[in-house]
Amino acid sequence: MGEQVHTQPSFIAVDAGSHFPLQNLPWGVFNRKAGGRRRVGVRIGEWVVDMAVLQARGFFNGPCLQDTAVFDKPALNDFMALGRPAWQEARAALQALLAADTPTLRDDAELRTRVLHPLSEVTMHLPTVIGDYTDFYSSEYHAANVGQMFRPGDDPLPANWKHLPVGYHGRASSVVISGTQVVRPWGQVLDADESQPCLLPSAELDFELEVGFFVGPGNVLGQPIPIGQAEDHIFGLVLVNDWSARDIQRWEYRPLGPFLAKNFATSISPWVVTLEALAPFRIPGPAQNPAPLPYLQTANITYDIQLEVALQSPTMAAPHVICYTNYRHLYWNAAQQLAHHTLTGCNVRPGDLLASGTISGPAPGMFGSLLELAWRGTKPISVGQHETRTFLKDGDTVTISGWCQGAGYCVGFGQVEGKIVPAQAAIKE
């Protein structure tokens, strides 16, 4: 990787604290609220760059992008499939076009009107058609906390945990864009003093602070992706809230793990931040001991991404931060997750989503779920001045933010937000 940081300003005014300066340029899919089809856009400041218009005008005529029309599409899958040379070609051309000393777009008022849309005038959509979704369990702090809660007196980590990235296949159809309301799910629940389960709305609804990545080029069925090539198959990262119904999961998870407790909603942020934009923030990951098997051995590079979770109830004037942690606390990195996922020859495809699992840090205020923050409901946490929580209540809005802090600039993800709404009416026989 090792991209040089683009220090030249853009002719588009960007606030100093913005997540979206010229150094970022994340990708998404939008349509104008005034009408029009979905197409690919890039964000800078409070503006969305219409990539389809630019491509139609011949601004992307390099060897990887000419005659492709990949931006006049309702999803990023086709662009993702082209691979890193095409991604870099588009990024370089766009950074040059948006630079302060480039007059091409800056001085053409008619073209600017067609290309630049105020963020307030567009609707954001899922960035890809997600064929498959996989959720990992890659934070040692989170896994150890859960082990201490549910297996007191035993080793908090399962015997396999430091030998492979534990994961499970999730439900792609219920991945939703930030801002989508989350309906409290029904499920079978077994109360502690009962012998038979009841059908109830979940009383232990939780968030999970995660970061996911989208697959770019896939692999052929039967051919694993080697660890040394894994990053070339990763297009970029998004924030993920993998909502979880803890009481439903507690009853159903043996022997096959999460099912209804996870399949009702997974929220993601709309802007995909590329590995090129994150390159200046590459750092060593945690030491891995014992050493992984050779197919998982890598330089163990991760990213310094600051993460924050805030909760706001209907009675609160402003959100209250309840968690602050960092992506660097993941034990298994994205390359290892992808290499392990495809070890069997499992084929991943452009637009597939792989998420990290809950990201927790070493201190209580760095725990990435209410299950941990309130320690399985035994230690309610303060939310604002007058409220406490063990799990989420109807009307609560959870907002996850993430950013990398550079020297005088910020590369961020924006937010993923979701509001809990009451369960639907009682399910009839």
Q: Residue 155 maps to which CATH number?
A: 3.90.850.10
Per-residue pLDDT for 6 more than 60?
A: no
**Claim to verify: residue 117 and residue 178 sit in the same structural domain:** no
Instruction: List the end-to-end C-alpha distance of the chain, in Å, as a whole number.
Output: 57
- Residues contacting 222, CB < 8 A, separation 6+: 345, 347
Nearest to 304 by CA among 287, 322, 285: 285
- Give 8-56 pLDDT, tens digit per residue: 699 999 999 999 999 999 999 999 999 889 999 999 999 999 999 999 9
Integer angstrom CA distances of residue 194 from 188, 198, 199: 12, 9, 13
Same domain, 91 and 145: no
- Are 245 and 348 in the same domain? yes
**Tens digits of per-residue pLDDT, 133-144?**
999 999 999 999
Same-domain check for residues 214 and 157: yes
Is the model's pLDDT at 257 over the cut of 50? yes
The average pLDDT across 382-396 equals 95
Q: pTM of the prediction?
A: 0.96
3-state secondary structure the chain: CCCCCCCCCECCCCCCCCCCCCCCCCEEEEEECCCCCCEEEEEECCEEEEHHHHHHCCCCCCCCCCCCCCCCCCCCHHHHHCCHHHHHHHHHHHHHHHECCCHHHHCCHHHHHHHEEEHHHEEEECCCCCCCEEEECCEHHHHHHHHHHHCCCCCCCCCCCCCCCCEEECCHHHEEECCCCEECCEEEECCCCCCCCEEEECCCEECCEEEEEEECCCCCCCCCCCHHHHHHHEEEEEEEECCEEHHHHHHHCCCCCCCCCCCCCEEECCCEEEHHHHHHHEEECCCCCCCCCHHHCCCCEEECCEEEEEEECCCCCCCEEEEEEEHHHECCCHHHHHHHHCCCCCCCCCCCEEECCCCCCCCHHHCCCHHHHCCCCCCCEEECCCEEECCCCCCCEEEEEEEEECCCCEEEEEEEEEEEECCCCCCCC
Q: Are residue 305 and residue 412 in the same domain, yes or no? A: yes
Predicted confidence at residue 133, as pLDDT, reads 98
Domain match, 161 and 119 both: no
The single residue of 6, 19, 117, 142 carrying the catalytic annotation is 142
The per-residue pLDDT for 3 is 47
Q: What's the mean pLDDT in 381-388? A: 92
Is the pLDDT at 7 greater than 60, yes or no? no
320 annotated active-site: no
**Interval 404-415 mean pLDDT:** 96
Question: How many domains does the chain fold into?
Answer: 2
pLDDT in tens, 97-132: 999 999 999 999 999 999 999 999 999 999 999 999
User: What local confidence, expressed as pLDDT, does residue 66 receive?
Assistant: 85
Residue 13 lies in a domain: no
The answer to whether residue 259 sits within a structural domain is: yes
Does the structure show a pLDDT above 90 at 153? Answer: no
Where a domain ends, among 74, 108, 125? 125
Q: What is the mean pLDDT of the chain?
A: 95
Is 344 inside a domain boundary? yes
**383 plus 413 within the same structural domain:** yes
For residue range 287-316, what is the model confidence (pLDDT) as tens digits? 999 999 999 999 989 999 999 999 999 999
Range of the domain at 57: 27-125
Which of 91, 125, 159 lies at the terminal end of a domain, its last residue?
A: 125
* Residue 54 shares a structural domain with residue 141: no
Last residue of a domain, one of 73, 96, 125: 125
Task: Please determine, for residue 2, whether its predicted confidence score (pLDDT) is greater than 50.
Answer: no
pLDDT tens digits along 319-376: 999 999 999 999 999 999 999 999 999 999 999 999 999 999 999 999 999 999 999 9
Could you tell me if residue 394 is inside a domain?
A: yes
Query: 47 in a domain, yes or no?
Result: yes
Alpha-carbon distance 149 to 147, whole Å?
A: 5
**What is the tens place of the pLDDT at every residue in 181-230?**
999 999 999 988 889 999 999 999 999 999 999 999 999 999 999 999 99
For the chain, give the percent of residues with pLDDT over 90: 91
Indicate whether 290 and 409 sit together in one domain. Answer: yes
| Gap between the Cα atoms of 308 and 399, Å rounded | 8
CATH assignment of the domain containing 85? 2.30.30.230
Does one domain contain both 196 and 244?
A: yes
Residues 82 and 149 in one domain: no
- Indicate if 279 and 296 belong to the same structural domain: yes
80 in any annotated domain:
yes
* pLDDT at position 416 over 60: yes
pLDDT at 101: 96
Mean per-residue pLDDT for 377-390? 94
Q: What is d(CA 137, CA 143) in angstroms, rounded to the nearest whole number? A: 7
Instruction: Tell me, yes or no, whether 148 lies in a domain.
Output: yes
